[in-house]
């Protein structure tokens, strides 16, 4: 079996490392700072294929949802996984778009239904009905969210039990090439580690190495607000007009606007005193009055790892042998399925058809 270096210990790198180790490879994971320190740790972490097109990308995300659910049969406990469904309603201006998306999802076989006010009260009794009004409410029962850092730690712990090495604080300075083939990496402390294969799972840092290995990226940024513990019995993810909400453990709520997109270079500096974050919490309070008069306890800036055309880049780079990339938006949704797919291709020589549309080769002419 080959020796493989996985760069990055977020949800994608951890998933890949676990499946490679499970397949018998000699695996070393190199992480520059800490597990989940990048986008994984600053994500709304919504597991879904809610508004993802075209069909090939939708289907890949549905496969990701199913792969997460299957982990319940593989692990004795999955404390990171919360597939409790999501609820969505829109303001008047957004209802036609919601209806069209809902109809498309139903046509594609996605679990989606319109529910009554009585069903809404049963699923989320702490929602103030006045905040919903007469808006149609859609229920997506197979969606949910993941605690990304808990997930990544669980995958890496499983990989270690199978013999993988995980080095924290090992920043890769250079991917080493010899005669057009990867030979290993050089770490910032001067060490060179040899390997038969290198898998780049560094997300928004995926273009930091040799220019010949660059995957063009177009990252965007968004702000997330965390409340202090509040006495709200919310178990579902909510998509409301101008406000997305989910539980975040120990009574805290995570609140954001998933459609907010800032340039990472000019995005607002995170801070609990940002007026837009306070307004976001006010919107959440109008939906969930039991929150009471709280202010944001923390605000984080999440930078999304998005290849230039918006879609996943998973596979070998055509100009270099032995170098494989797994870079994608929707990394939380896709982590479990991509871990298995990457291992299948690298260890068994499979060509996974669901990845055909998403090869990095499309960026290299």
Cis upstream peptide for 112 (omega within 30°): no
Which band of pLDDT confidence, cut at 50, 70 and 90, is reported for residue 266?
confident
Q: What is the mean pLDDT of residues 125-150?
A: 98
Whether residue 282 contacts residue 296, with contact meaning beta carbons closer than 8 Å, is answered with no
Q: What is the mean pLDDT of residues 327-331?
A: 95
Per-residue pLDDT reduced to its tens digit, 316-326:
999 899 999 99
Residue 354 scores a pLDDT above 90 = yes
Per-residue pLDDT reduced to its tens digit, 64-74:
999 999 999 99
**pLDDT value at position 310?**
95
CA distance 174 to 192: 9
Domain over 3-63+148-216+307-364 is classified CATH 3.40.640.10: no
Q: What is the mean pLDDT of residues 317-343?
A: 96
Residue 207 scores a pLDDT above 90 = no
Domain over 86-141+220-304 is classified CATH 3.40.470.10: no
- φ/ψ region of 265 (left if φ > 0, alpha if ψ in -120 to 50, else beta) reads alpha
Residue 133 scores a pLDDT above 80 = yes
> In the chain, where are the structural domains located?
3-63+148-216+307-364, 86-141+220-304
Which band of pLDDT confidence, cut at 50, 70 and 90, is reported for residue 281?
very high
Average pLDDT, the chain: 96
Residue 365 scores a pLDDT above 80 = no
Per-residue pLDDT reduced to its tens digit, 229-265:
999 999 999 999 999 999 999 999 999 998 888 888 8
CA distance 140 to 146: 16
Overall pTM surpassing 0.95 (yes/no): yes
**pLDDT value at position 99?**
98
**pLDDT value at position 35?**
97
Q: What is the mean pLDDT of residues 285-314?
A: 96
**pLDDT value at position 326?**
97
CB neighbourhood size of 15 (10 A): 31
């Amino acid at each position: 079996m080959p020796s493989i270096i996985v760069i990055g210990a977020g949800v994608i790198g951890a998933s890949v490392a676990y499946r490679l180790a499970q397949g018998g490879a000699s695996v070393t994971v190199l992480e520059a700072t800490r597990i989940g320190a990048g986008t994984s740790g600053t994500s709304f972490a919504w597991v879904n294929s809610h508004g993802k097109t075209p069909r090939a990308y939708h289907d890949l995300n549905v496969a990701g949802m199913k792969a997460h659910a299957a982990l319940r049969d593989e692990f004795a406990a999955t404390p990171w996984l919360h597939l409790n469904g999501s609820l969505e309603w829109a303001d008047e201006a957004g209802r036609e778009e919601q209806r069209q998306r809902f109809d498309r999802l139903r046509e594609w076989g996605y679990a989606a239904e319109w529910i009554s006010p009585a069903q809404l009260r049963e699923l989320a009794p702490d929602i103030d009905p006045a905040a919903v009004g007469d808006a149609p409410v859609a229920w997506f029962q197979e969606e949910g969210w993941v605690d990304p850092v808990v997930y990544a730690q669980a995958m890496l712990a499983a990989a270690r039990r199978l013999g993988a090495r995980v080095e924290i604080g090992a920043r890769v300075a250079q991917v080493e090439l010899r005669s057009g083939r990867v030979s290993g990496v050089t770490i910032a402390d001067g060490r060179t580690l040899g390997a038969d294969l290198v898998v780049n799972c560094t997300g928004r840092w995926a273009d930091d190495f040799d220019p010949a290995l660059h995957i063009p990226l177009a990252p965007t940024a968004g702000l997330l607000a965390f409340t202090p513990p509040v006495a709200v019995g919310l178990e579902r993810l909510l998509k409301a007009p101008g406000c997305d909400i989910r539980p975040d453990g120990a009574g805290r709520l995570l609140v954001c606007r998933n459609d907010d997109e800032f340039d990472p270079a000019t995005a607002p500096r995170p801070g609990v005193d940002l007026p837009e974050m306070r307004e976001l919490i006010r919107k959440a309070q109008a939906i969930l009055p039991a929150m009471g008069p709280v202010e944001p306890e923390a605000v984080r800036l999440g930078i999304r790892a998005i290849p230039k055309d918006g879609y996943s880049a998973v596979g070998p780079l055509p100009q270099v042998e032995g170098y494989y990339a797994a870079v994608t938006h929707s990394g939380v949704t896709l982590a479990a399925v991509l871990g298995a797919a990457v291992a299948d291709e690298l260890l068994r020589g499979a060509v996974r058809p669901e990845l055909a549309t998403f090869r990095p080769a499309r960026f290299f002419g």
